[in-house]
Copies of this chain bind each other. A is one copy, B any other.
Amino acid sequence: MTGGPSGLVTLTTDFGTRDPYVGTMKGVIRRVHREADPIDLTHEIQPQDLMEASLVLDSCYRFFPAGTVHLVVVDPGVGTQRRAIVVDTPEHLFVGPDNGVFSRVYATEPRAVVREIRNESLMLSQISDTFHGRDLFAPVAAHLACGLDPAQVGPVIEDPVHRDPPQPVVWQDQITGEVIHIDSFGNIISNVTREIFEMLVGGRNFRIIVNSKQIDQLSRNYEDVERGRVLALFGSLGMLEIAVHGGRADRRIGAGRGDPIQILTGPA
């Protein structure tokens, strides 16, 4: 990170909000660094769903001030030999387990440097085998948020775990993507970016097919079609998204994560 710290620590976990696990992490953060400021991204990642956590983080970390620390605790391997890491990029720091949850960061931040967290003086004095979010990750994130040089956490590693997110396939006049997320409005979000879409379609006619539902045009917003109708647009994540004006597209179309989405086009 080249600038100074912002003091902010974003939190992304699969802990839910019923138990006080997240509150406890915030207590530890504030005990280490009184001015650190924890902000929730979400605590409702599906249990142990690394790909969802990776997507959530990617969709929003750029909107935070430079110098923000992003803490992710989706950690099925807690207490095993999996490494704990810090990912250092020009504007943001990321803290979490080395299980692939930062794969999208590696893909979009070519200058990322990954370090293993080994410096025990940065952790709580007792480390449980089941809650590194509290005992290890929260205090390290707090130290970084108050300006600790990432080089102090431990050595650079060259082989962090990657889990590549599914990529859309372009073949002849067709893109085959997949549904990567259903948001809380029921919008169906795919992995097809505007760039890939434009590259294939150019100015030609096209057809989008999800679960045999066909859509032949792009909308600009959710009210661009009549109430109750299905539409396609590039949403706030920059991805092709299927929605229903005033309703839930996931229920209407019966589509869920992992389902294919196809874009067909004909001769120019």
A interface residues with partner B (beta carbon < 8 Å): 6-8, 10, 12, 15-24, 26-28, 30-31, 34, 37, 39-44, 47-48, 56-57, 59-60, 63-65, 68, 76-80, 128-131, 134, 183-185, 220-224, 233, 235-236, 246
Q: A41-B20, A42-B17 known; A222 and B134 CB under 8 Å?
A: no
Bound-state Cα–Cα, A131 to B27, Å? 27
* Distance of A229 from chain B, by nearest CB (Å): 14
Q: In the complex the two chains form, is A223's CB within 8 Å of B76's CB? A: yes
Bound-state Cα–Cα, A18 to B6, Å? 25
Bound-state Cα–Cα, A77 to B42, Å? 25
Q: Given known contacts A30-B65, A129-B221, what 6 new A-B pairs fall within 8 Å (CB)?
A: A19-B56, A30-B64, A78-B222, A79-B221, A80-B223, A130-B236
Contacts of A184 in B (CB 8 A): 15-16, 18-19
Which of the residues B34, B63, B233 comes within 8 Å of A129, measured between beta carbons? B233
Q: In the complex the two chains form, is B23's CB within 8 Å of A10's CB? A: yes
Q: In the complex the two chains form, is A60's CB within 8 Å of B27's CB? A: yes
Q: In the complex the two chains form, is B223's CB within 8 Å of A79's CB? A: yes
Which of the residues B12, B48, B63 comes within 8 Å of A134, measured between beta carbons? B63
Which of the residues B26, B48, B134 comes within 8 Å of A236, measured between beta carbons? B134
Bound-state Cα–Cα, A198 to B12, Å? 36
Q: In the complex the two chains form, is B42's CB within 8 Å of A19's CB? A: yes
Contacts of A37 in B (CB 8 A): 30
* 18 residue pairs A–B, Cβ–Cβ below 8 Å: A12-B20, A15-B184, A16-B184, A19-B183, A20-B41, A23-B41, A24-B63, A26-B39, A27-B39, A30-B64, A48-B246, A76-B222, A78-B223, A79-B220, A80-B223, A129-B220, A130-B235, A131-B236
Bound-state Cα–Cα, A230 to B221, Å? 46
Bound-state Cα–Cα, A129 to B184, Å? 18
Q: In the complex the two chains form, is B27's CB within 8 Å of A65's CB? A: yes
Contacts of A134 in B (CB 8 A): 63, 236
Q: Which residue of B lies closest to A245 (CB)?
A: B76
Q: In the complex the two chains form, is B59's CB within 8 Å of A20's CB? A: yes
Contacts of A27 in B (CB 8 A): 8, 10, 39, 60, 63-65, 68
Q: In the complex the two chains form, is A128's CB within 8 Å of B6's CB? A: no
Q: Which residue of B lies closest to A43 (CB)?
A: B17
* Distance of A35 from chain B, by nearest CB (Å): 10
Contacts of A77 in B (CB 8 A): 223
Contacts of A68 in B (CB 8 A): 27
Which of the residues B7, B43, B63, B246 comes within 8 Å of A76, measured between beta carbons? B246
